[in-house]
A and B are shown apart, each in its own frame.
Chain A
Amino acid sequence: MMQNSEGTKSDSDVYLRVEKLKTQFFTSRGIVKALDEVNLNIKKGEIFGLVGESGCGKSVTAQSIMYLVPDPPGRIVSGKIYVGNVNMLIGLDRLAKITIKSETNVKIKRNKRLIKRHNYLLSKIRGDRISMIFQEPTLALNPVLRVGDQISENIMLHLKIEMANAILRREMATRKDYESFVQKVFSIGDKDQRGKEILDWCENYSISDAEELVGNIFLTYQDPETIIKSLEFIVNERKSGTDINRLSRARDYYVYQQKLFEATLKLMEAEANGRQDEIESAKYELNEAKREGGTFLSFRVINIFMRRRIEAPLRDAAKRRVIELLTLVNISEPERAAISYPHELSGGMQQRVMIAMALASSPQMLIADEPTTALDVTTQAQILDLIRNLNRQMGSSVLFITHDLAVIAQMCNRVGVMYAGNIVEEADVNTIFDNPKHPYTIGLLRALPRADRIAGKMVKLDTVAGTVPNLITPPSGCRFHPRCKFKMDICEQKKPELDDLGGGHKVACFLYQEPGGSTQ
């Protein structure tokens, strides 16, 4: 807890913070030490590139962050993943008890109750705060569900409260609402600000399809009375005659569920800290929250039988949002795409759908695991453009994983270089390309054809000698030392820490640090 509050205070602009993440695969041939205490900090709105040879643990990092490592055989052994201020791996050590008798004989005893609760936590964070784009859209989309259904599923899971509130506002809109809105818009001088205000309002009143219309009204009319009348007309036309009582009851229920989740999260945090008094008070709070559930008893019974009816207005709103999202990712004929099955779309379109799905509930963090590897070159460029533009528009951070340095140079703000389950160098993109420090990074860049180095003559490209080591028995000390030209004695004995050389340029190599200094 101490570390948590301290950490969030010191770098408040960091959204995703991965601390000492250790993932292992317990196979019949031995334990694969895939990730060895990976640290990552990704700031709000930045694109962080993760690069390395195949088999160095890039994808495992992505899957670990999402807690999607296939189990068995894989498990996250230790570490912390803060998404915003929530640790996704809270209480990790109690989920399963791992007894290692030998490399090939590992017993894992899982605590089903805690795993269930952890899954509950994950289901609230994944998709909502953090989502992922996969490598192969053909495999990553469910073949038997319509594209629109797959996207709206995400919306229905995470945006129920917001959508219900917006619909209720629209249905119950009074003159007062319009007046205050018109006043507010008039008070704003800046044109862009005005546009943003209008957009927000439309979203808040679940009439986002009429956004242009509202904007035009403000452009054409100056008289507040006329504007209010027109607004009233627009909103009234979109009223669907939803049962307000039922919907507000449903909204309250969703809010109650959210409260329940927050109380559970508090309890999990307290349990992870192990302070008895905190646990007691968290338990008390959870019970209090649960007690409130008694008032929803009748609603829950109704919800079982009439779920489709109750959720119908929400589904309509979700459907509209799906079309918006599909337009956002540049799919022509979004209505048609929404009702088609994944196999009816091309690879590029499928990847756009994947992106739309990942963005459906506007997560703050997006993980893109080689999103263009399976696509052809022209489509690749379009998808990369799309991701960059969306990053700018929506301001969410991106963890971009690729083996292609050219893509990194084109896309990212900061870069981490990965080798055999470690991040060996981390810096902003210019520094990496102009002033690489780690021998591995240098080797990687030498293997890249560059216009300024070739300059008209034939230059033989370098390669990094050797291959990625077997991670069942990784090299001792620095995992790169068997392939390193500058190997020293200490490299075989000790693992170098990721040290800051200044300006956020971090390197894990003994060449750049005092041998004694790293012991601290």
Chain B
Amino acid sequence: MILPSAVDWMELRYFILRRILLLIPTILGLSIFMFILIEAVPKAILVTPYINPHVQIPYIIQEQNALKLLGFNYPPPIAYLFYLDRLFHGDLGLMSMPGYPNSVSAAIIDALPNTIQLTIFASIVSIAIAIPLGTYIGARPNSVADQASRVFSLTGYAIPAFWLALLLQLALGKGTIFGNPFGVLPISGSYNPSLIPYPAPSWFVNGYTDPTHLVIFDSLIHGDIPLFFDALEHIVLPVLTLTYGLLAGILRFMRAGMVDASNQEYVKTARSKGVPEKLVIKKHIRKNAMIPTVTVMGLLVAGLLGGVVLVEYVFSYPGMGYLTTQGILSYQVWLIIGTTLVFGLILVMTNLVVDVVYALTDPRIRY
């Protein structure tokens, strides 16, 4: 009947602004933490990617130059300011891994869209399933469907993501188990390289695509339908793995919220007004049940971001997680610190969004 008035939107804007200002100390703290981690690494390892073996300049001099460049010839607090300055310029350090760009930032920019794509797809699928299902189950506590969902939630919470990924590869992956009729989905990468014509089209450079860096969307933009379907097939298993855990988490809180809300007094009020049962559940109970779910959303997303690293590793999906695990193997400190920082930023931003959504769902939390 009544839409939020203009005043509310103004208030909301101030709320968001204030929240963004509050982020600054957290992000600074994060950068300090990252710097402490960098300081803990031997300097010789830190400067390795800055040294070019093909140049005639002696190693010692190159090392000295690199240390000077990174500010490590100063005491740590000053060196931190150097680090901060480089962060402001988008410089996360260098790395040397075959097949990847030299700059950590460039590598992350190439990989980040894939990770975001996976998490967003998994989130959408989970939320789209969990909210109607949670409503249905929460309105019928202790029914058969409820018991089944509890088992599902429990296993979803307890199952290690990487093992689930391996299981799905075995069960649905192409070429894992001989004669498996369900084994139709590809198990590694984000597309099938043999579908790329030779020479590769101009929008396809070094395995990364323009303009979005997402094979699914870029192939659509450039009208390559077979590649589009192939990329879509490649995303199914990773998203399925991620969805399982997230769905279980949301479902668990949604159910608890529904059960809790349906015991509240205002539900009796609604019934006493003659609101039909379906509407009582949808309008009065569900709206309140969403509140606890939204509050834990930040935690669930943190779990999802952890899961995405493992899932990308198992499926060799070229996102940030895969990049990180590759960095572990060849000991790329700058790369790992850089991805950690970016993961942290993503989580901080997600929490901001969660806070705003929370304020929108629960009018009692007013800015």
Binding site for B on A (CB under 8 A): 63, 66, 68, 70, 116, 119-120, 122-128, 131-132, 134, 136, 139-146, 148-149, 152-154, 157-158, 315, 318-319, 338-339, 341, 343, 354, 357-358, 360
Contact = CB atoms under 8 A, between A and B. Distances in A.
Interface in B240-271: 263-266, 268-271
Interface of A is mostly: helix
B275 interface: yes
B266 A66 contact: no
Given A142-B266, A148-B1, A343-B363, A119 B288 contact: no
B202 interface: no
B330 interface: no
B364 interface: yes
A136 B2 CA distance: 25
12 contacts: A66-B272, A119-B277, A123-B276, A127-B274, A142-B270, A143-B288, A143-B362, A143-B363, A157-B274, A158-B274, A319-B2, A357-B273
A148 B2 contact: yes
A353 to B, nearest CB: 11
Nearest to A136: B265
A38 B260 CA distance: 32
Nearest to B276: A123
Contacts of B265: 134, 136, 139-140
Interface in B265-311: 265-266, 268-277, 283-284, 287-288, 291
A319 B3 CA distance: 13
A500 to B, nearest CB: 32
B5 interface: yes
A71 to B, nearest CB: 12
Contacts of A315: 1
Contacts of A120: 276
Nearest to B290: A144
Given A126-B271, A153-B275, 17 more contacts: A63-B268, A66-B268, A123-B274, A125-B274, A126-B274, A127-B272, A127-B275, A131-B272, A139-B264, A142-B288, A143-B363, A144-B362, A146-B2, A152-B1, A319-B1, A339-B5, A341-B363
Interface of B: 1-2, 5, 263-266, 268-277, 283-284, 287-288, 291, 361-364
B273 A153 contact: yes
B273 A154 contact: yes
B205 to A, nearest CB: 46
A137 to B, nearest CB: 9
A157 B363 contact: no
Contacts of B288: 142-144
B364 A341 contact: yes
A171 B276 CA distance: 31
A506 B346 CA distance: 73
A127 B1 contact: no
A-B residue pairs, 8 tightest by C-beta: A127-B274, A139-B265, A127-B273, A126-B274, A142-B266, A341-B363, A132-B272, A154-B273
Contacts of B264: 139
A319 to B, nearest CB: 6
Contacts of B283: 145, 153
B3 to A, nearest CB: 9
A141 B266 contact: yes
Given A152-B1, A339-B5, A157 B273 contact: yes
A149 B274 contact: no
